[in-house]
Amino acid sequence: MPEPIIFSIPKGRILDEALPLLAAVGIEPAADFFDPKSRALVFATNQPHISLIRVRAFDVATFVAHGAAQLGIVGSDVIDEFDYSELYAPVDLGIGHCRLSLAGPEGSAPPGLGASHIRVATKYPGTTRRWFEARGIQAECIKLNGAMEIAPKLGLASHIVDLVSTGRTLVENALAEQVVISEVSARLIVNRAAFKLRSAEVPALVERFRVAVGQITVERGDAAA
């Protein structure tokens, strides 16, 4: 029997949208996946050769890049942050839409070209530094995993870089979105070595996702019409 294919999926905002897509390609998690009391991280599926692991979004990319999982679903924000050469992201899944944005106190302006230094609180220090460097500004990044919005109020940083969906959290913390750094959506990611070495399985699974996304897009278009 060949080794099972390990598919890494994220906890959090993308998961609910990812489950119908998994079902569309014929992958359904075992019942214990949906048990809120379960602390398991590895789950069987209706496909004997495919297992799921459910981890934090930032860890999805690491598991796949290092070959512990062969495929995964993760936001393009995470892909951009790590920039792993071992990752191949062949399919935009059309889910998990949001944006990565620079925000600052209401009424303030984004740093201009004349600025030489800025302190930013963010979960994305790599992306943030690269974005500011391209504009000739040195960014001192303070890495936070949450509660980014209170950093300017407490004097920890003058600005934040974080994911924005509705913008409500920014408004409730007296912040305003100033610049959209990138539009974000979830992608199917694949370990490059696994794509080549398991050519009888992994490319076919990628194609099933590509077809499923195309069908869903057509159905949405028909519904909107």
Q: How many CB atoms lie within 10 A of CB 155?
A: 8
For the residues 45-71, what does the mean pLDDT come to?
96
Q: How many CB atoms lie within 10 A of CB 19?
A: 16
Instruction: Specify the pTM.
Output: 0.90
Q: How many CB atoms lie within 10 A of CB 143?
A: 12
Reported as a single tens digit per residue, the pLDDT across 161-186 is 999 999 999 999 999 999 999 999 99
pLDDT interval class at 30 (50, 70, 90): very high
pLDDT interval class at 121 (50, 70, 90): very high
Q: What distance in Å separates the CA atoms of residue 41 and residue 119, rounded to the nearest whole number? A: 37
pLDDT at 114: 60
Token pair in block for residue 8? 């890494």
Name residue 211's amino acid. V
Instruction: List phi, psi (to 5°) of 97.
Output: -70, 130
3-state SS, residue 115: coil
Least-confidence region, from 19-33, 189-203, 207-221: 207-221
- The helix (run of H) or strand (run of E) holding residue 181 is strand 175-184
- The helix (run of H) or strand (run of E) holding residue 83 is none
Domains, the chain: 5-96+185-224 (3.40.190.10), 98-182 (3.40.190.10)
